[in-house]
A and B are shown apart, each in its own frame.
Chain A
């Protein structure tokens, strides 16, 4: 077993109380590892804490507890100078390719900026490196003088990816990198991210609400619900034999591009979703874990774990 590239232990993010509202546990005791060259997919509905988790790992959001180790180095206690030097090992790619590129900068300027900040290549080699980056993401190096508005959404996302890769990172957080794109462009960007991973040995944390996209990208998958990971395993384990009722619920709800099957899915009795509404407590079984004590992590199979009070199925409430 190789040393993990990223090791997250009991990472928690607490948003302080505001206007009489109690503090919000946005991320609660997240623990996982990502091996070199591997992708962990992070799925869950909006507000489940996926984005906050990604930001906390990159130290863009202060964690209230827990540890994040990248390349063996603890990030949460680093001074800002040290952290700045670590930033060239960790980069991110965000959802919106329209707002994440400066409209008045040429593609060349956008891509040379990180090279200048991190001094990763000598000044006289910057131009060469920028052209190399454009080729890496399958863009024509002749586009170096163009501005972002001259590009399509997919091309812009390629530029965003090239910028993230400029400093030769080891780890990239991709937060909904393809959700704003059309289906064919999505597929192209997914293929690009996969080939870059193979070529450069990158590790990804791939955050998305689209379960099918995550299935294509991820080696391992973690399912988040209300700030916690409720299930984690290999993509095949989580998608083909989900152990947590919430995972099952998500998978059952994904519309499938097969008319016969999809009609049948819509005709099944609808699940009871009342636990999703209301005051942000209570799980699929209506149990308030905060009051009840968080259930422990059960190992379903090697590498596949679930956090649910009523696992295995048929115990607890279901059996009663």
Chain B
């Protein structure tokens, strides 16, 4: 396979809710190479989450989505795929982790059942193999005593552990691309650091592409190779993360970086 893992050209997304029609993504283009981590930063409403959903061909909750432009995944056009083919791809080749682990997990199914479901459906594993694989995956993401926890329900896990479980589910089919949309925003800072370390490690061990969406410049700083800054549905600045942070070219990027509160040094004085 040659070329980038993901090649997006002129992507547009129009989100239609009962109240309004929003041009959420206005013709953006970017690549994500295999093994590469790319960050998307911007303020709420800039279109970064809609972009992620658009790649998975999912609509934001309570809305429908109209897409234009082209999205090539290993050269295959995703926007032209049938819903069945898309469903097969989703979760298996492209997986996603969302902000809120509680609403992304089914509260009345055990963790083992939810993981097993996915593994049996996508990889055709037997019930027994799926269970064993699930225990391995839980261990991999750092859930202590996974064999004892596998039959527990989501509410029996802490917020950080639930996010680990979601990550375990997301990587269970060894996807080529992991899309993480604000994966640590709901977590305490110490737990956030653990989840970021986990994502870094998994990416290195498995060579996945990572699309990391966040409003937090600190989170994106240590995690990605390149960063795209979004504003009102457009990418206003793109480049290697070190360059964008050290020498922001666009006034909007500069304004965002200037507004970030600092723990030490300039701006952190009173």
Within 8 A of B (CB), among A119-144: none
How far apart sit A210 and B188, CA to CA, in the bound complex (Å)? 9
Which secondary structure characterizes the binding site on chain A? Answer: helix
Cross-chain contact B221 with A256 (CB below 8 angstroms): yes
- Are B218 and A187 touching (Cβ within 8 A)? no
A183 pairs with B259, CB closer than 8 A:
yes
Residue of B193, B200, B216, B241 most packed against chain A (CB within 10 A): B193
Q: Which residues of B contact A182 (CB under 8 A)?
A: 43-44, 215
**Interface presence of B242 (CB below 8 A):** yes
Instruction: List B contacts of A257 (CB < 8 A).
Output: 217-218, 221, 245, 257, 260, 262
In the complex, the answer to whether B190 meets A251 with C-beta atoms within 8 Å is no
* Residue pair B197, A212 in contact (C-beta under 8 Å): no
Q: Are B241 and A239 in contact (CB-based, < 8 A)?
A: no
Using known A-B contacts A183-B259, A190-B261, A219-B270, determine if residue A262 contacts B218 with beta carbons closer than 8 Å.
Answer: yes
The reply to whether the CB of B192 lies closer than 8 angstroms to some CB of chain A is yes
Q: Does B230 reach chain A (CB closer than 8 Å)?
A: no
CA distance in complex: A258, B218 (Å): 7
Asked whether A240 is an interface residue with its Cβ less than 8 Å from the other chain, the reply is yes
Tell me whether A215 is interfacial, beta carbon within 8 Å: yes
B189 CB–A CB distance under 8 Å: yes
* Complex interface: chain B residues within 8 A of A251 (CB): 263
B217 neighbours in A (Cβ, 8 Å): 183, 257
> Is B247 interfacial (CB 8 A cutoff)?
no
Q: Does B106 have its Cβ within 8 Å of any Cβ on chain A?
A: no
Chain B 194-230 per-residue mask, 1 if CB under 8 angstroms from chain A, else 0: 1011001000000000000001111101110000000
Is A235 interfacial (CB-CB < 8 Å)? yes
Interface pair A184/B263, CB less than 8 Å apart: no
Whole-angstrom distance from the CB of A4 to the nearest CB of chain B? 19
Residues of B within 8 A of A186 (CB): 259, 261
**Number of chain A residues close to chain B: CB under 8 A:** 44
**Chain B residues whose C-beta falls within 8 Å of the C-beta of A211 in the assembled complex:** 189, 263
Report Cα–Cα, A260/B200, bound state, in Å: 15
Interface membership of A217, Cβ < 8 A:
yes
Tell me if B190 and A266 are in contact (CB < 8 A): no
B235 to chain A minimum Cβ distance, whole angstroms, is 18
Answer yes or no: A265 CB below 8 A from chain B CBs. yes
Interface assignment of A253: CB less than 8 Å from any CB of chain B: yes
CB nearest to B243 among chain A residues = A259
Q: If the complex has contacts A212-B263, A216-B261, A259-B241, are A184 and B256 also in contact, measured as CB distance less than 8 A?
A: yes
| B1 close to A (CB within 8 Å) | no
A187 B261 Cβ-Cβ under 8 A: yes
Chain B positions within 8 Å of A287 at CB level: none
Given contacts A257-B245, A277-B158, contact A266 B193 (CB under 8 A): yes
Name the A residues within 8 Å of B241 (CB-CB): 259
User: What are the interface flags for B18-48 relative to A under an 8 Å C-beta threshold, 1 for contact and 0 otherwise?
Assistant: 0000000000000000000000000110000
CB-contacts of B107-157 with A (<8 A): none
Considering the complex, give the chain A residue whose CB is closest to the CB of B186.
Answer: A46
* Chain A contacts for B255, CB-based, 8 A: 184
A197-223 vs B, Cβ < 8 Å mask (1 yes, 0 no):
000000000000111110111110000
With A182-B43, A263-B222, A266-B197 as given contacts, are A45 and B261 in contact (CB-CB < 8 Å)?
A: no
Cβ-defined contact, B194 with A270, below 8 A: yes
Interface residues of B in 162-190 (CB under 8 A from A): 188-190
Q: Which 8 A-B pairs have the closest CB atoms?
A: A255-B218, A262-B222, A212-B261, A257-B217, A182-B43, A187-B259, A262-B221, A253-B193
A-B contact pairs, 18 of them (CB 8 A): A183-B215, A183-B256, A183-B260, A187-B259, A190-B261, A212-B260, A212-B268, A215-B262, A235-B270, A239-B263, A254-B263, A255-B192, A255-B218, A257-B260, A258-B221, A259-B241, A262-B218, A266-B222
Chain A positions within 8 Å of B, measured between CB atoms, are 39, 45-46, 182-184, 186-187, 190, 209-213, 215-219, 235, 239-240, 249-263, 265-266, 270-271, 273, 276-277
